[in-house]
Amino acid sequence: MSGAPRRRRAERSARVLPRAVSGLGLLSAGGFGAWCLWFRSLLTPTAVVVGLVTVFLPALALVWAGRKLVRSGISRDRYGRVVRWSFGGAIVFLAVNGFVMALFPWNGLAGNLAWAQFSLNAGAGAGFLVGYVEARAIQREVEATAAVARAEQLEEDRELLTYLSDLLRHEVLNSTQIIGGHATLLLEEADDSTRGSLEAIDRESEKLTDVIDDIRAMLNATQPSAGRAVVALDDVLSDEIADVERRFDDVEVEASVPDGVRVEGNEGIGWIFANLLENAVEHNDGESPRVEVTVATTDETVTVRIADDGPGIPTPVREALFDRRSDNHGLGLYLVRILATRYGGRVDLAETGPDGSVFAVTLSRAGGERTTEPPDRRRTDSDPVAAAVGSQRTADAETAVVASGRRKRESTTETISADREPTETKPNERDGIDRTRPTSPRDGPEI
């Protein structure tokens, strides 16, 4: 209960203190008006003008200062210090000048009163200026310290996320591959009583592998270099199109991609188009799905349009199309939106209807001489340890040959190493590079 009254008092003080400065200015301005009326018979036009300049205008400046304090962005906790400087300056300057007036009176009562008002306003204004500058300096120091603390915290969080990503890849993913590999081997000789359970194990291991790959994509996009590096868009799209054609036998992809187009981002850009292409094929009821990929460029942006000839997206689904779904573990279009936003772009459902849907991905076009990252580094097992394990199998290594005709992807050899190092590679028929890409359809509809 003690906290709430304290907060209310603080809020009340924050409202009152700036008004006190403005009130002092209004009081001084009113005093000048009264002074002019009271001594009007003694005042000359020159005296009135001097009074306006030395008393009335400074009084109006104090009124403005009170309003300025409220809109300055200074923390309310420092209002009190600024006001104390203002009133303290007024009192000290008035006292000093009062002592001088006692020794050297000036033009009688009218002159001394004008002198006193001038001293009050000048002292209050000077004190306010000192307090305001001091408060702003403290505010900047606090904000700079907070920014450093936030940067350090972000760096610690990023290191933790990197560690978790490595943990997922080298521990969880490795175990998942072992489980899936053994389940596939057992399926070849399974009877009806165990086949259903083994298929469930194999299916869930594929889902978990996909989720791990999606998480790695999101973590990769959080790296500081994500907005500074560039990738060759034509290479990325060529690889993704070749992969979807390899995974889905009946799909027909028509692409119009200009050479030499680069966009800001890193290898995570490929995940955006991998998900959209996969989504276009998986949710097409036709016997031979057709996908068209086109690229349009401006001086600042690159827009990739992916059109399919599927059944379209129902109206109730469109509003939450890019939202995170809770009914399955796949990230799908939610991941596409997150990655596109992280790379300074956006993704939209441009068109949809009975003749198909069109997704438009807009990214920042890269300029300058920044380094272009390899287009598919995310799918290349460049880990020298894993490569060594894969090429130098020891006698006690377990080798599982995963060969399942019910999968949409080609047969994959899963190597289970004795030291539990994953070899999540797969030969790519197009360029011969081993790639660790998600190769199974997402669980549940992407949309």
Q: What is the pLDDT of residues 89-128, one digit of tens each?
A: 999 998 998 888 888 877 788 888 888 989 999 999 999 9
Cβ neighbours of 217 (radius 10 Å): 26
Least confident of 50-64, 118-132, 431-445: 431-445
> Per-residue pLDDT averaged across 389-401, rounded?
33
Give me the pLDDT at residue 91, please.
92
Q: Average pLDDT, whole number, for the chain?
A: 76
Q: Per residue in 377-390, pLDDT tens?
A: 344 333 333 333 33
Q: Per residue in 351-365, pLDDT tens?
A: 998 889 999 999 999
* Cα 87 to the center of its chain, rounded Å: 45
Cα separation, 248 vs 17, in Å, equals 71
CA atoms within 13 A on the CB side of 323: 8
Is the model's pTM score more than 0.85? Answer: no
Give me the pLDDT at residue 178, please.
86
250 confidence band (pLDDT: 50, 70, 90): confident
194 confidence band (pLDDT: 50, 70, 90): confident
Evaluated on CA atoms 379, 385, 391, 395, the torsion sign reads negative
Residue 410 per-residue DSSP state:
P
Evaluated on CA atoms 311, 314, 319, 322, the torsion sign reads negative
In this predicted structure, the answer to whether residue 406 has a pLDDT above a threshold of 50 is: no
Closest by CA to 276, choosing from 223, 334, 205, 201, is: 334
Share of the chain above pLDDT 90, in %: 23
In this predicted structure, the answer to whether residue 158 has a pLDDT above a threshold of 80 is: no
Distances (CA, A) of 240 to 269, 270, 276, 403: 11, 7, 10, 23
Q: Per residue in 275-323, pLDDT tens?
A: 899 889 988 888 889 999 999 999 999 999 999 998 888 888 888 888 8
Residue predicted with more confidence, 390 or 145: 145
Give me the pLDDT at residue 6, please.
66
Cα separation, 255 vs 261, in Å, equals 14
- Spell out the alpha helix ranges (H) of 303-397: 315-318, 332-342, 384-391
Evaluated on CA atoms 211, 212, 217, 218, the torsion sign reads positive
> Per-residue pLDDT averaged across 165-193, rounded?
82
> Per-residue pLDDT averaged across 147-153, rounded?
89
Give me the pLDDT at residue 358, please.
94
Greatest Cα pair distance in the chain: 119
> Per-residue pLDDT averaged across 402-431, rounded?
36
